[in-house]
Amino acid sequence: MKKIINILLFITSITTIFCSLGHATQTRLTNHNLYFIENSGGSGKIYFRKHQTAGYVDLFRMNEDGTGVTQLTFDELYESNAQFNSDKTKIALIKKSNDIDYIYTMNSDGTNKQSIYNTTNRIYSLRISPDGNKISFVVIESGNTNGTLYTMNFDGTGVRTLNYNSSSENPAKIASDIAVEPVDISVYKHNGSTMTKNIVDYQYGFSYSPDSSKLYFINYSSKQLLRIDADGTNLIYITTYSVSGTSIYALSNGKILFRRLNGSKYEIVTLNSDGTNYTVLFSTSRYISSFYISPDETKIIYLDTYYYASTTEYYFVIVNLSNGSFNMIELDNYTSLSWISNTKIAYLQNDDIGTYDLNSFTKQKATTDTSPYYELFDAKNNKILYGYQTNNTFKYYIMDETGANNHQVIDQSIYGNMGTIKLSPDGSKIAYSFKGNTTYYQLVVTNTDGTGVTVILAQGYNYDYYDFQYIGDVVR
């Protein structure tokens, strides 16, 4: 099984490994169902990735009420960055193994899967052109630290970087022993000069113009907004100032929509394609990371995190771009967001998928089978310490290495922050640092068998006692 899946399994479920004389066995001690919201593209369906106990991360879709769940992919590759064509009938997405990244296309119902491109380089994002004929994607080539723009036809032919003379080189094929669904062992390596070589900030988004003739992206060093023709000509700096955030949208009216930090304010801004007519549609002193535009381009949503008096509050914010008015919808935890349609939003709520209706102002759960997101914190003397955190609730459990004697030992269901948590060398005690409604951390010890009383060993200002270690049986 590929390495990325192994890592995910060990984080999301607790597994013990027993080794003797070269023979290893694994015993699963917890179960889980994990969801990750994908771009639903205003398709009227919810697209999501799901990871189940002893399974792979695969792409699914369902109706907005949680019915009609359909699994779309069935392999060990890790799917991400699903994108729709303009009529929502086809999807392009990135799949990853240990050593090779792939681009797949398929119908929106999961049929007609095609592996159209693969590379030993890393692919970080992709977009389908509005006319449906091209796919562009950002690649970090070997030896580079930032991205290069590639384009190809939707069927995978005509792979190229964006060159000065708009010529196309034929990629060389390298043999690979990895077989995936469907079997395709061609690995493409594409070298050559390019106007975008190693200057694209792969962490940020890029966008096609509505007529598919141009691409907009952010320079990794200056963070300025650039435009290049889809044939590789006419590279132009549109802004002299930095543009920040992972969201860039070329709107159907010819304007560009993006986020900018201007002094102490985060602004949602539109520009003409030549950089003129700077217009602020929305401004706030609160942090905006990524935002997502509705299919009809009239609204955006983004996640807002608010820290106050040792508490953390989460909201998603719906902004009307015509007048800058907004609504804040409170959440229980940090989440991901996607537009199902112009009036419905999908989001994660305590690791289940929920929907929000903009007309009725109501939330509804679409899934109810999620298990907690367990993390392994420590293991000493045949004892395993694990638990989960959601919003500001911290629950920790102890069990034997066989899964027996499983019981909860810590339940901090108040607003605050947990620091370090460790078992004593003999496994009989847990020490942890915690900050509740105070300005300082407390260093606390409790017995793992649930007996006795919890003892506060020390407390100090700010981050004192946030971290510590056992030296023998003594906490230092």
Average of per-residue pLDDT across 200-218: 90
Average of per-residue pLDDT across 210-233: 90
Name the nearest CA neighbour of 3 among 119, 96, 125. Answer: 96
Write out pLDDT tens, residues 300-337.
999 998 876 656 788 999 999 999 999 999 887 777 89
Domains assigned to the chain: 73-200 (2.120.10.30), 375-475 (2.120.10.30)
pLDDT class for 7, splitting at 50, 70, 90? very low
Higher pLDDT, 319 or 39: 319
pLDDT for the residue numbered 326: 95
Write down the pTM of the prediction: 0.73
pLDDT class for 24, splitting at 50, 70, 90? very low
pLDDT at 23 over 90: no
Work out the percent of the chain whose per-residue pLDDT is above 70: 78
Write out pLDDT tens, residues 95-113.
998 889 999 999 999 999 9
Torsion angle of C-alpha atoms 456, 457, 458, 462, degrees rounded to 10 = -60
CA-to-CA separations, 342 to 123, 148, 165, 299, 357, in angstroms, rounded = 30, 33, 41, 8, 10
pLDDT for the residue numbered 107: 95
Average of per-residue pLDDT across 347-353: 79
Write out pLDDT tens, residues 373-430.
677 888 888 888 888 776 567 788 898 877 888 898 988 765 567 778 889 988 899 9
Name the nearest CA neighbour of 240 among 260, 254, 210. Answer: 260
pLDDT at 3 over 80: no
pLDDT for the residue numbered 471: 64
pLDDT for the residue numbered 188: 38
Could you give the CA distance from residue 10 to residue 200 in angstroms, rounded to a whole number? Answer: 33
Residues in CB range of 53: below 8 A, 6 or more apart: 13, 28, 31, 32, 33
Work out the percent of the chain whose per-residue pLDDT is above 90: 36
424 CB-contact burial (10 Å; exposed 0-12 / middle 13-18 / buried 19+): buried
Tell me the longest C-alpha to C-alpha distance in the chain.
Answer: 77
pLDDT for the residue numbered 109: 93
Write out pLDDT tens, residues 123-144.
988 999 999 999 999 998 777 7
Indicate the residue type of 244. Answer: S
pLDDT at 293 over 90: yes
pLDDT for the residue numbered 472: 62
Higher pLDDT, 342 or 370: 342
pLDDT at 292 over 90: yes
Name the nearest CA neighbour of 317 among 284, 340, 295, 342. Answer: 284
What residues does 357 pair with on adjacent strands?
344, 362
pLDDT class for 370, splitting at 50, 70, 90? low
pLDDT for the residue numbered 84: 92
Higher pLDDT, 226 or 371: 226
pLDDT class for 168, splitting at 50, 70, 90? very low
Is 9 strand, coil or helix?
A: helix
pLDDT for the residue numbered 190: 41
Could you give the CA distance from residue 174 to residue 152 in angstroms, rounded to a whole number? Answer: 18
pLDDT at 189 over 60: no
Write out pLDDT tens, residues 60-94.
999 999 899 999 998 888 888 899 999 999 999 99
Lowest mean pLDDT among 4-13, 38-47, 372-381, 390-399: 4-13
Higher pLDDT, 70 or 183: 70
CA-to-CA separations, 335 to 227, 269, 435, in angstroms, rounded = 32, 24, 23
